[in-house]
Structure 1
Amino acid sequence: MDHYLDLRLRADPEFPQHQLMDALFTRLHRVLVQRGSTAIGLSFPEARGLHGGLGARMRLHGTASALEPLASPAWLVGMKDHLEIAGVLEVPANTSWISVRRVQAKSNVDRLRRRQMKRKGWTAEEAAAAIPAAAAERLDLPFLSIRSASTGQTFRLFIRQQPAAVMRAGNFNAYGFSTEATLPSF
């Protein structure tokens, strides 16, 4: 994680910023899946909680050789007019560290009830009594709205960025997130 690539969204009167960020993330996800990449991490330096959103900047982290192909706008067909792409740059010295990961809310109460019925042999009434509708978890985190390639359904991908005490190496998933690795924060 010694280099980074910033992708900054330009203001656009026709499209809200969150919609452009969703589209940019979807394209990045496709590229990471196609390449089978586990060496590129993703952060949002301007993220400000649920109502502040993710901001206008997406930062990719990795080695120079892993990031160079993403600095070319070929994978950004249809997005070029909405972006400013800086070249691949070295991470500044003496940075702090952050952990960036996906967080999934347990918001589908019916699914939770069905799971308990199957696992514990509960009846529907027992599951409803044990798991009330108010048990649905609500997250106060920024998110991306993306469409699942496998099911076609749109869902919210919640993102938690939090400070980390030390640098930890690790692999990243096809979303650019990791449960163990940290990223430079500057």
Structure 2
Amino acid sequence: MLTHYFELRAIPQLELSDIEVMNQVMQSLHYCLAKYQGQIGICFPCYSKKRQTLGGIIRLFGTEQQLNALKQALNQQYIVQDYTIMMAIQPIPMTKDDGGHRYLLVSRVRTKGMSALRRSEKRLTAQGVWNEDVRQAMIKKWGDVSLSYPHCHLKSVSNGQHFILWVNQRFVAKEHAGNFNSYGMSQSATVPHF
């Protein structure tokens, strides 16, 4: 259950842009969130799809005990210490505008690219079913995904490859409980918006 929150606020740097700071902080945060097995959620209060930015604030949600442990783990990360201000843990406020909280669904957007198309072509050619119609159907299906979401650039811990984490944050009417991934996001679980 999400009862408390705290924020990480990026400190502007001369040598790094806000985007680069957020990339580094999200990488450090990912290392720490993996230990909480889906219990800590995230949102980006300054998220802007129009400007394609996550903004300079990360808000984390969980129980007070979980967030205290997370703060201790984050204090061991020099990137977080040097490039952010870690705010105090506070109870989630109740809003009065609609009698309760409004909620956000923060989810990862996965896209299929040319590498997926090449892998499919190789596999389906070996099976003898690859042709131009199959290729066009895959391009049509995968081409529907918009890459106009705010994002950050990360490096995979497991294989060392660099990738882009596309983020979709949207309002939803009702609260949904569930687990979060190691980035604090979910395809169904919501976090409060205030």
TM-score higher than 0.5: yes
Task: Determine the structure 2 residue equivalent to 1:91.
Answer: 92
Partner of 2:154: helix, strand, or coil?
Answer: strand
Once residues 44 and 129 of structure 1 are traced to their aligned partners in structure 2, the CA distance between those partners, rounded to angstroms, is: 37
| Alignment of structure 1 residues 148-163 onto 2, 5 Å | 148-163=156-171
Task: Report the AA paired with residue 86 of structure 2.
Answer: I
Q: Please, which of 131, 147, 153 is the counterpart of residue 155 of structure 2?
A: 147
The residue matched to 1:14 in structure 2 has which SS?
Answer: coil
Partner of 1:117: 124
Question: Contact 1:31/1:75 (CA < 8 Å) preserved in 2?
Answer: no
Q: Distance in 2 between matches of 1:21 and 1:138?
A: 22
Q: Name the structure 1 match of 2:108.
A: 102
1:58 aligns with 2:58: yes
Count of paired positions: 185
The match for 2:188 is 180
- 1:146-168 CA-to-partner distances (Å, cap 9, x unmatched) read 11122211111111011111111
Name structure 1 gaps, 5 residues minimum: none
- Please give the alpha-carbon distance, in whole angstroms, between the structure 1 residues aligned to 2:106 and 2:172: 10
3-state SS in 2 of match to 1:81: helix
Change (3 A) 1:84 1:150: same
| 3-state SS of 1:49 partner | coil
Check whether the contact 2:44–2:59 (CA below 8 A) recurs between aligned residues: yes
Tell me, yes or no, if structure 1 residue 30 matches structure 2 residue 14.
no
Structure 2 contact 107–185 (Cα < 8 Å) conserved: yes
1:127 aligns with 2:149: no
| Contact 1:98–1:162 (CA under 8 A) maintained in structure 2 | yes
Compared with structure 1, are the counterparts of its residues 138 and 164 closer, same or farther at alpha carbon in structure 2 (3 Å cutoff)?
closer
**Distance (whole Å) between structure 2 residues aligned to residue 133 and residue 96 of structure 1:** 35
Give the Cα separation in 2 of the matches to 1:97 and 1:115: 43
- What do residues 86-125 of structure 1 show as CA deviations (whole Å, max 9, x unaligned)? 1111111023101011011122352474387279852254
Q: Percent identity?
A: 29
Q: Which residue of 1 aligns with 2:44?
A: 44
Structure 1 residue matching 2:22: 3-state secondary structure: helix
Note if contact 1:97-1:163 (Cα within 8 Å) is conserved in structure 2.
yes
1:78 deviates by 3.4
Long gaps (5+) in structure 2: 96-100
TM-score (norm 2): 0.84
CA apart distance, 1:176 = 0.7
Q: Which moved more, 1:165-174 or 1:112-121?
A: 112-121
Q: Distance in 2 between matches of 1:162 and 1:135?
A: 22
